Amino acid sequence: MKIAFFEIGNSYDEYIKKSGLKNHELLFFSEPLSDKNIEDVKDVDILSIFVYSVITKDILDKLPNVKYIFTRSTGFDHIDLDACKRRNILVSYAPRYATESVAEHTIALMLAVARNIHPSVTMTKEGIFKPDKEFRGFELKNKTLGVIGCGKIGRKVVKLAKAFGMNVLIYEKTPDWEFCKRAGVKAVDLDLLLAKSDIITLHVPYLPKTHHLINKKIIEKMKDGVVIINTARGGVIDTRALLEGLKSGKIAAAGLDVLEGEEEFMQKKEGAMSRLNYELIAMPQVIVTPHNAFNSSESITRLIDHTIEAILAFIAGKPQDLVPACI
């Protein structure tokens, strides 16, 4: 079979070429799949992509032989699943590779916000070396953390938060009561979580029903001075509502690894959403990292191994980790 890999670093080309896929025709591209390079892969059978390769109906129409797509990501909102279903194209994702990395990054953002790490480092680099009361922080111990979405990553965040001595509330439509008992956390309705949490962290997939899950009305229900952490997807937060909350002081701070409309922002395109993101990033009480939570040496190694395993499983007629729409 002919297999094309997009958005993949050169350091992994040789690794994949020596794997169980070595007898197949393999193509590697460091950039995302787009109309600019689609002619180079018009006859491929399998695609392996990352989140910036946006798979639309028009893209699929130019790839008549594609039978399988593996996205090297936990999210799959960059793929038109309905178009894939109509074409009988199976789509798999990687739900487990970055659990540890994303959970640790979530806690890192909490700590960075709580202890004013970024402005403190900036001040020190400017030659001011003193413990300024302006950057006085707070401890995580005894604070209440609200976890919205308690899948694999959310559960790992719960475990780490408990190690810091935090009180933890979770919101999940169908709570796992055994997990709650074992972890020493309370499953509550969303309104109670919003009202009681000092810090709220998001661990939900981006789907139509989670678009702008955090919006103006939801923010109004939050505790005054709340901190918001997002390592999920940018679109689960309404950026305008977040900005309003930060300006009013309703939201004290935010730690974000994802942005709404981040593809446009990454490509430095001018637009309404990019302008909002520039304004957001410029705020001193906001820390933004560039969709980097997954990016550890360990998680990338796991991801490449998972990619090889998933493609081989599909070739063997035993596809694994299919996205819900393909099950």
Total residue length of the chain = 327
Sort 125 into a burial class: Cβ within 10 Å, 0-12 / 13-18 / 19+. Answer: exposed
Is position 291 annotated as part of the catalytic site? yes
68 - beta bridge partners?
A: 46, 90
Distance in angstroms between the alpha carbons of the first and the last residue of the chain? 23
Of the candidates 72, 233, 302, 306, the residue annotated as catalytic is 233
> Whole-angstrom Cα distance, residue 285 to residue 150?
27
Place of tokens 């994702």: 93
Our answer to whether residue 118 is catalytic in this structure is no
Q: Give the amino acid at 250.
A: K
> Pick the catalytic residue: 203, 291, 302, 306?
291
Q: Which residues on adjacent β-strands are paired with residue 49?
A: 71
Half-sphere exposure of 256 (CA within 13 A, CB side): 23
Which has the closest alpha carbon to 6: 42, 47, 63, 57? 47
Two tokens at 224? 């005054």
Amino acid at 72: R
182 is catalytic: no
Give 98: exposed, middle or buried? Use CB within 10 Å, 0-12, 13-18, 19+. Answer: buried
Q: State which amino acid sits at residue 134.
A: E
Q: Which of 104, 172, 260, 262 is catalytic?
A: 262
Distance CA 9, CA 300 (A): 10
What does the block give as tokens for 269?
Answer: 């395109």
Cite the active site residues: 233, 262, 291
